[in-house]
Amino acid sequence: MRKPFIAGNWKMHKTRSEAKELAGELVKQLKGVDQRVMIAPPFTALAEVGSVLADSSIVLGAQNMAVAEEGAHTGEVSPAMLKDCGVSIVILGHSERRHVYGETDELIHQKLLLALKHELEVILCLGETLDEREAGRAEEVVRRQLKSGLDDVDTDGLRRVTIAYEPVWAIGTGKTASPEDADQIHRMIRQEIARLYGDKAAENMLIQYGGSVKPNNIADLMAKENIDGALVGGASLKTETFVPIVNFNK
Protein backbone atom coordinates (compact mmCIF):
# COMPACT_ATOMS: atom_id res chain seq x y z
CA MET A 1 0.00 0.00 0.00
CA ARG A 2 1.31 3.42 -0.93
CA LYS A 3 0.75 6.02 1.77
CA PRO A 4 -0.59 9.31 0.34
CA PHE A 5 2.01 12.07 0.32
CA ILE A 6 0.86 15.70 0.17
CA ALA A 7 3.53 18.36 -0.23
CA GLY A 8 3.23 22.15 -0.14
CA ASN A 9 5.60 24.23 -2.22
CA TRP A 10 5.47 27.77 -0.89
CA LYS A 11 7.67 29.12 -3.71
CA MET A 12 8.76 32.75 -3.15
CA HIS A 13 6.16 33.55 -0.53
CA LYS A 14 6.28 34.34 3.19
CA THR A 15 8.69 36.22 5.38
CA ARG A 16 10.15 34.40 8.36
CA SER A 17 7.40 35.47 10.74
CA GLU A 18 4.62 34.66 8.26
CA ALA A 19 6.18 31.28 7.58
CA LYS A 20 6.50 30.51 11.27
CA GLU A 21 2.87 31.38 11.85
CA LEU A 22 1.56 29.21 9.00
CA ALA A 23 3.79 26.28 9.99
CA GLY A 24 2.58 26.56 13.61
CA GLU A 25 -1.06 26.49 12.50
CA LEU A 26 -0.45 23.49 10.27
CA VAL A 27 1.21 21.59 13.11
CA LYS A 28 -1.89 22.22 15.23
CA GLN A 29 -4.50 21.47 12.58
CA LEU A 30 -2.79 18.44 11.09
CA LYS A 31 -1.94 16.66 14.31
CA GLY A 32 -2.42 12.91 13.93
CA VAL A 33 -3.12 12.85 10.16
CA ASP A 34 -2.41 9.59 8.39
CA GLN A 35 -1.03 11.20 5.26
CA ARG A 36 2.62 12.04 4.88
CA VAL A 37 2.87 15.85 4.77
CA MET A 38 5.76 18.06 3.71
CA ILE A 39 6.06 21.84 3.48
CA ALA A 40 8.79 23.65 1.56
CA PRO A 41 9.21 27.28 2.65
CA PRO A 42 11.73 29.60 0.99
CA PHE A 43 15.39 29.19 2.04
CA THR A 44 15.27 32.21 4.35
CA ALA A 45 12.56 30.62 6.50
CA LEU A 46 13.87 27.04 6.56
CA ALA A 47 15.64 27.18 9.91
CA GLU A 48 12.74 28.83 11.67
CA VAL A 49 10.10 26.56 10.18
CA GLY A 50 12.41 23.61 10.93
CA SER A 51 12.24 24.38 14.64
CA VAL A 52 8.45 24.75 14.52
CA LEU A 53 8.14 21.32 12.86
CA ALA A 54 10.72 19.61 15.08
CA ASP A 55 8.27 17.62 17.23
CA SER A 56 5.60 17.18 14.59
CA SER A 57 5.04 14.65 11.84
CA ILE A 58 5.25 17.32 9.12
CA VAL A 59 8.46 17.02 7.15
CA LEU A 60 10.59 19.99 6.10
CA GLY A 61 11.37 20.31 2.39
CA ALA A 62 13.52 22.66 0.34
CA GLN A 63 12.58 24.00 -3.09
CA ASN A 64 15.98 23.65 -4.71
CA MET A 65 19.62 22.79 -3.99
CA ALA A 66 23.05 23.60 -5.38
CA VAL A 67 24.80 21.10 -7.61
CA ALA A 68 27.96 21.37 -5.50
CA GLU A 69 28.99 20.58 -1.93
CA GLU A 70 30.70 23.89 -1.20
CA GLY A 71 32.86 26.60 -2.71
CA ALA A 72 32.53 29.54 -5.05
CA HIS A 73 28.83 29.25 -5.92
CA THR A 74 27.34 32.69 -5.31
CA GLY A 75 23.68 32.52 -4.38
CA GLU A 76 23.52 28.75 -3.98
CA VAL A 77 22.64 26.57 -0.99
CA SER A 78 24.41 23.26 -0.37
CA PRO A 79 22.98 19.91 0.74
CA ALA A 80 24.75 20.19 4.13
CA MET A 81 23.27 23.66 4.68
CA LEU A 82 19.78 22.31 3.99
CA LYS A 83 20.28 19.40 6.38
CA ASP A 84 21.57 21.82 8.99
CA CYS A 85 18.14 23.54 8.89
CA GLY A 86 16.32 20.25 9.37
CA VAL A 87 15.49 19.61 5.71
CA SER A 88 15.01 15.98 4.75
CA ILE A 89 13.49 16.31 1.27
CA VAL A 90 14.43 18.52 -1.66
CA ILE A 91 12.26 19.37 -4.68
CA LEU A 92 14.33 19.12 -7.86
CA GLY A 93 13.48 19.86 -11.47
CA HIS A 94 10.47 22.05 -10.75
CA SER A 95 9.22 23.48 -14.04
CA GLU A 96 9.98 27.02 -12.85
CA ARG A 97 13.60 25.93 -12.36
CA ARG A 98 13.62 24.25 -15.78
CA HIS A 99 11.84 26.92 -17.78
CA VAL A 100 12.51 30.22 -16.00
CA TYR A 101 16.02 29.49 -14.72
CA GLY A 102 17.19 27.23 -17.53
CA GLU A 103 17.96 24.10 -15.54
CA THR A 104 18.69 21.21 -17.91
CA ASP A 105 17.90 17.52 -17.57
CA GLU A 106 21.60 16.92 -16.93
CA LEU A 107 21.90 19.55 -14.19
CA ILE A 108 18.82 18.17 -12.44
CA HIS A 109 20.26 14.67 -12.71
CA GLN A 110 23.54 15.80 -11.09
CA LYS A 111 21.61 17.54 -8.29
CA LEU A 112 19.58 14.41 -7.70
CA LEU A 113 22.69 12.25 -7.36
CA LEU A 114 24.22 14.76 -4.96
CA ALA A 115 21.05 14.92 -2.84
CA LEU A 116 20.94 11.12 -2.57
CA LYS A 117 24.64 11.04 -1.67
CA HIS A 118 23.79 13.35 1.24
CA GLU A 119 20.90 11.13 2.26
CA LEU A 120 18.24 13.62 1.36
CA GLU A 121 15.01 12.44 -0.20
CA VAL A 122 14.05 13.96 -3.54
CA ILE A 123 10.80 14.99 -5.19
CA LEU A 124 11.69 14.87 -8.88
CA CYS A 125 9.33 17.03 -10.95
CA LEU A 126 8.47 16.15 -14.53
CA GLY A 127 6.02 17.67 -16.96
CA GLU A 128 5.37 18.81 -20.50
CA THR A 129 4.61 22.32 -21.74
CA LEU A 130 1.37 23.18 -23.55
CA ASP A 131 3.15 23.16 -26.94
CA GLU A 132 4.58 19.72 -26.22
CA ARG A 133 1.16 18.39 -25.16
CA GLU A 134 -0.55 19.84 -28.23
CA ALA A 135 2.11 18.29 -30.44
CA GLY A 136 1.28 14.89 -28.90
CA ARG A 137 4.67 14.70 -27.21
CA ALA A 138 3.65 14.71 -23.52
CA GLU A 139 4.62 11.09 -22.84
CA GLU A 140 7.86 11.33 -24.75
CA VAL A 141 8.95 14.45 -22.81
CA VAL A 142 8.03 13.04 -19.41
CA ARG A 143 9.77 9.74 -20.22
CA ARG A 144 12.92 11.60 -21.25
CA GLN A 145 12.94 13.71 -18.06
CA LEU A 146 12.35 10.61 -15.95
CA LYS A 147 15.11 8.53 -17.53
CA SER A 148 17.58 11.35 -17.44
CA GLY A 149 16.76 12.29 -13.84
CA LEU A 150 17.15 8.72 -12.59
CA ASP A 151 20.20 7.78 -14.64
CA ASP A 152 22.76 5.95 -12.40
CA VAL A 153 20.26 5.73 -9.52
CA ASP A 154 20.09 2.20 -8.10
CA THR A 155 17.10 0.53 -6.44
CA ASP A 156 18.27 1.68 -3.03
CA GLY A 157 18.48 5.29 -4.15
CA LEU A 158 15.12 5.03 -5.88
CA ARG A 159 13.45 4.34 -2.52
CA ARG A 160 14.26 7.91 -1.56
CA VAL A 161 12.72 9.40 -4.71
CA THR A 162 9.14 10.59 -5.17
CA ILE A 163 8.03 11.60 -8.65
CA ALA A 164 5.80 14.64 -9.16
CA TYR A 165 4.04 14.89 -12.51
CA GLU A 166 3.28 18.56 -13.06
CA PRO A 167 2.08 19.53 -16.52
CA VAL A 168 3.56 23.00 -16.97
CA TRP A 169 0.31 24.38 -18.47
CA ALA A 170 -1.55 23.47 -15.26
CA ILE A 171 0.77 25.21 -12.80
CA GLY A 172 -0.68 28.36 -11.27
CA THR A 173 -3.17 28.67 -14.14
CA GLY A 174 -6.29 27.24 -12.52
CA LYS A 175 -6.32 24.54 -15.24
CA THR A 176 -5.94 21.05 -13.85
CA ALA A 177 -5.24 17.99 -15.96
CA SER A 178 -8.35 15.82 -15.83
CA PRO A 179 -7.91 12.97 -13.36
CA GLU A 180 -8.02 10.59 -16.36
CA ASP A 181 -5.30 12.45 -18.30
CA ALA A 182 -3.11 12.71 -15.22
CA ASP A 183 -3.60 9.04 -14.38
CA GLN A 184 -2.59 8.05 -17.90
CA ILE A 185 0.77 9.81 -17.55
CA HIS A 186 1.20 8.45 -14.01
CA ARG A 187 0.57 4.93 -15.35
CA MET A 188 3.19 5.45 -18.05
CA ILE A 189 5.68 6.63 -15.39
CA ARG A 190 4.98 3.55 -13.28
CA GLN A 191 5.42 1.27 -16.28
CA GLU A 192 8.72 2.94 -17.05
CA ILE A 193 9.86 2.41 -13.43
CA ALA A 194 8.84 -1.26 -13.76
CA ARG A 195 10.90 -1.59 -16.94
CA LEU A 196 13.95 0.05 -15.33
CA TYR A 197 13.72 -1.32 -11.76
CA GLY A 198 11.19 -4.16 -11.71
CA ASP A 199 7.58 -4.56 -10.61
CA LYS A 200 8.14 -4.22 -6.88
CA ALA A 201 9.90 -0.87 -7.21
CA ALA A 202 7.12 0.33 -9.52
CA GLU A 203 4.45 -0.77 -7.10
CA ASN A 204 6.11 1.16 -4.26
CA MET A 205 6.84 4.29 -6.28
CA LEU A 206 4.96 7.36 -5.04
CA ILE A 207 3.79 9.59 -7.88
CA GLN A 208 2.32 12.96 -6.96
CA TYR A 209 0.25 15.13 -9.25
CA GLY A 210 0.83 18.89 -9.26
CA GLY A 211 -0.81 21.81 -11.05
CA SER A 212 -3.72 23.82 -9.62
CA VAL A 213 -4.57 21.24 -6.98
CA LYS A 214 -7.39 22.64 -4.82
CA PRO A 215 -9.73 21.37 -2.09
CA ASN A 216 -12.44 20.81 -4.74
CA ASN A 217 -10.40 18.63 -7.12
CA ILE A 218 -8.08 16.67 -4.81
CA ALA A 219 -10.50 13.81 -4.04
CA ASP A 220 -11.13 13.03 -7.73
CA LEU A 221 -7.42 13.07 -8.44
CA MET A 222 -6.59 10.87 -5.44
CA ALA A 223 -9.28 8.39 -6.46
CA LYS A 224 -7.18 7.43 -9.47
CA GLU A 225 -5.16 4.25 -9.22
CA ASN A 226 -1.80 5.79 -10.02
CA ILE A 227 -2.09 9.13 -8.22
CA ASP A 228 -0.52 8.84 -4.78
CA GLY A 229 -0.37 12.42 -3.59
CA ALA A 230 -0.05 16.03 -4.62
CA LEU A 231 2.51 18.77 -4.91
CA VAL A 232 0.56 21.90 -4.11
CA GLY A 233 1.63 25.47 -4.84
CA GLY A 234 -0.88 28.31 -4.40
CA ALA A 235 -3.31 26.35 -2.25
CA SER A 236 -0.53 25.43 0.21
CA LEU A 237 -0.19 29.05 1.37
CA LYS A 238 -3.28 29.06 3.58
CA THR A 239 -4.54 26.60 6.19
CA GLU A 240 -8.09 27.05 4.80
CA THR A 241 -7.03 25.44 1.52
CA PHE A 242 -4.08 23.22 2.47
CA VAL A 243 -5.68 21.44 5.44
CA PRO A 244 -8.72 20.22 3.41
CA ILE A 245 -6.36 19.03 0.67
CA VAL A 246 -4.39 16.97 3.19
CA ASN A 247 -7.68 15.69 4.64
CA PHE A 248 -9.05 14.80 1.18
CA ASN A 249 -10.35 11.46 2.44
CA LYS A 250 -12.31 12.76 5.44
CB of 75 to ligand PGA, least distance (A): 21
Using the minimum distance from each CB to ligand PGA, give the nearer residue, 4 or 233: 233
Q: Which residues of 73-107 are buried (b: 16+ CB within 10 A; e: fewer)?
A: eeeebbbebbeebbbbbbbbbbbbbbeeeebebeb
**Residue range at the interface with ligand PGA (CB under 6 A); choices 17-25, 30-38, 181-189, 227-235:** 227-235
Catalytic residue among 94, 103, 109, 192: 94
User: Out of 48, 103, 166, 192, which residue is the one contacting ligand PGA (CB under 6 A)?
Assistant: 166
Q: Is 94 a catalytic residue?
A: yes
Report which of 241, 164, 247, 172 is spatially closest to residue 208, judged by C-alpha positions. 164
Contacts of 174 (CB under 8 A, 6+ apart): 212
Between CA 65 and CA 50 the distance in angstroms is 17
Residue 194: how many CB atoms within 10 A of its CB? Answer: 15
User: Out of 58, 97, 234, 242, which residue is the one contacting ligand PGA (CB under 6 A)?
Assistant: 234
Angle at 148 between CA 12 and CA 163, to 5 degrees: 50
**Residue range at the interface with ligand PGA (CB under 6 A); choices 15-23, 51-59, 220-228, 230-238:** 230-238
User: Out of 35, 64, 208, 212, which residue is the one contacting ligand PGA (CB under 6 A)?
Assistant: 212
CB of 112 to ligand PGA, least distance (A): 17
Position 79 contacts ligand PGA (CB under 6 A): no
* Cβ proximity of 221 and 209 under 8 Å: yes
Using the minimum distance from each CB to ligand PGA, give the nearer residue, 217 or 226: 217
CB of 124 to ligand PGA, least distance (A): 12
Between CA 195 and CA 233 the distance in angstroms is 31
Question: Would you tell me which residues interact with ligand PGA (CB under 6 A)?
Answer: 9, 166, 171-172, 210-213, 231-235
Residues assigned a catalytic role: 94, 166
